[in-house]
A = this chain, B = another copy of it.
C-alpha cells in the first residue's frame, strides 16, 4: 500500500516541466507568474502543476496579498533530485 504512495510521488516527479519547476525553486521561493516565465509555460498551466506538487507535498505556499510564493517543501525533495541526477548522469556516461 505504501508502494502505491511512493509510485504516486514518483509520478508527480515524472514530468520535465515539474522537474524544471523544482529546479527553479531550489534557488529559493518564487511567485507563480515568475515561475511561469522562468519555466516557459502559461500561468494557468503553472497553477495546475503547482497544485499537483502541493498535493504531493513537494512544495509549499506562502501567501502574501495577491501573490503566492512557492518553495520546496523539505530536504527529501532535494535529496531525491540529487540522487536522480547522479543516476541519470551515470547512465548518460555509460551510454
Residues of A at the B interface (CB closer than 8 Å) are: 2-11, 13-16, 18-20, 23, 56-57, 74, 76-77, 79-81, 83-92, 94
Picked from B14, B18, B23, B83, the residue with its CB within 8 Å of the CB of A79 is B83
Closest 3 CB pairs of A and B: A11-B14, A76-B87, A10-B13
Q: Is the interface of A mostly helix, strand, loop or mixed?
A: helix
- Taking the nearest CB of chain B, how far is it from the CB of A83, in angstroms? 5
Cα distance A23–B7 in the bound complex, in angstroms? 12
Residues of B within 8 A of A86 (CB): 76
Alpha-carbon distance A83/B87, docked complex (angstroms): 14
Given contacts A7-B16, A11-B14, contact A87 B91 (CB under 8 A): no
